[in-house]
Amino acid sequence: MEKKVNRRNFIKTTAAVATGITGLSFLPTVGLSNNTLTEGIHIIGPKDGFSPQVGTLLSMMTWMRNVVVHGVENMKKEELDYLHDSTSNTIGAMLLHLAATERQYQIKTFEWDIDFKGDGKINWDAAMRLGEKGRKYIKGYSIDYYLTILNETRLTTINEFKKRDDHWMSKVDPSGFQGMPTNNYCKWFHVCEHESNHNGQIKWIKSRLPGAKPGND
């Protein structure tokens, strides 16, 4: 059975947690930002409850997520399942792919000793691979299903970010991207820019939906 999420409150929930509007008054201030900027979705910078660089990165991730959700929040099942051609990915599959990518980087950078595939409730493998697996297994879900998974995955990231500081952000993996030294900041920035990349694909597919009005993509 699909989980439900109130689409109107999706961004409000994640943005509130990410920007320190709610639930952070009990946190210790040692090592956290003491130079917080004015709060708001369009304010990129340090956030209450997070070290300066962690808060700044999270504000960028929150802004990008807002853009993605705004573009899909009213889509119907048949639109989410629309396949432009035999080698394309659906919008629904790409949304689950965004959550799968974030989960993968949670496991890698938070050093969790767990199986990426999880308990089987979500087909993370198909979501990560996309292609034929994605076309076969990721379909028939409403937008609430995808937004709930995106929301839950992001809230986990936010809660884990609270536990970490700028020193953790600068920690270097000697064999990261392209086998080169890569720090955690770069890895999580990739999660953000990866979302931007797929947002462009989602917009392109939306403009090709049956009956869609001509766009400017």
Q: Is residue 179 part of a domain?
A: yes
Across the range 180-195, mean pLDDT stands at 98
In angstroms, the CA 26 to CA 148 distance is: 27
Q: Is residue 38 part of a domain?
A: yes
Q: Is residue 74 part of a domain?
A: yes
Convert the pLDDT of each residue in 64-123 to its tens digit.
999 999 999 999 999 999 999 999 999 999 999 999 999 999 999 999 877 777 667 899
Q: Pick the closest to residue 143 from 63, 98, 78, 213 (CA basis).
A: 78
State the CATH number of the domain containing residue 49.
1.20.120.450
Pairing label, strands 172-173, 182-183: antiparallel
Specify the number of domains making up the chain: 1
What pLDDT band is residue 212 in, cutting at 50, 70 and 90?
Answer: confident
pLDDT of res. 213 = 78
3-state secondary structure 44-90: CCCCCCCCHHHHHHHHHHHHHHHHHHHHHCCCCHHHHCCCCCCCCCC
Q: Which domain holds residue 65?
A: 7-206
Q: Is residue 212 part of a domain?
A: no
Q: Is residue 116 part of a domain?
A: yes
User: For residue 47, how many C-alpha atoms fall within 13 Å in the half-sphere facing its CB?
Assistant: 29
pLDDT of res. 24 = 32
Q: What is the pTM of this model?
A: 0.83
Q: Is residue 217 part of a domain?
A: no
Higher pLDDT, residue 161 or 14: 161
Across the range 188-213, mean pLDDT stands at 94
In angstroms, the CA 189 to CA 40 distance is: 20
Core vs surface per residue 193-211: b (16+ CB within 10 A) or e? ebbeebbeebbebbeeeee
> Is residue 216 pLDDT above 70, yes or no?
no
Q: Is residue 214 part of a domain?
A: no
The size of the chain, in residues, is 217
Q: Is residue 114 part of a domain?
A: yes
pLDDT of res. 29 = 32
**Percent of the chain beyond pLDDT 90?**
73
DSSP SS3 for 182: strand
**Percent of the chain beyond pLDDT 70?**
80
pLDDT of res. 172 = 97
The letter for the amino acid at 77 is K
Higher pLDDT, residue 181 or 115: 181
Token look-up 């920007």 returns 19
DSSP SS3 for 164: coil
> Is residue 136 pLDDT above 90, yes or no?
yes
Is residue 14 within 8 Å of 158, Cβ to Cβ? yes
